[in-house]
Amino acid sequence: MSKISEKLKAKIRRQAKNRCGYCLLPQSLNPSLLEIEHLHATANGGTDEEENLWLACRLCNGYKNIQSEAVDYKTNQKVLIFNPRTQDWNEHFEWKNEKIVGKTPCGRATVKAVKLNNEIILPVRRKWISAGWFPPND
**What does the binding site for Zn ion look like in residue numbers (CB under 5 A)?**
20, 22-23, 25, 57, 60
The pairing of beta strand 53-56 with beta strand 69-72: unpaired
- CB of 20 vs Zn ion, minimal distance in Å: 3
The CA distance from 25 to 49, in Å, is: 24
Nearer to Zn ion, 72 or 115 (CB): 115
The CA distance from 67 to 128, in Å, is: 29
- CB of 116 vs Zn ion, minimal distance in Å: 7
- CB of 76 vs Zn ion, minimal distance in Å: 26
Here the contacts of 5-9 (C-beta below 8 Å, separation 24 or greater) are 8/50, 8/53, 9/36
Nearer to Zn ion, 7 or 119 (CB): 119
> 42 CB contacts (<8 Å, ≥6 apart)?
48
Nearer to Zn ion, 20 or 36 (CB): 20
- CB of 64 vs Zn ion, minimal distance in Å: 9
Nearer to Zn ion, 120 or 131 (CB): 120
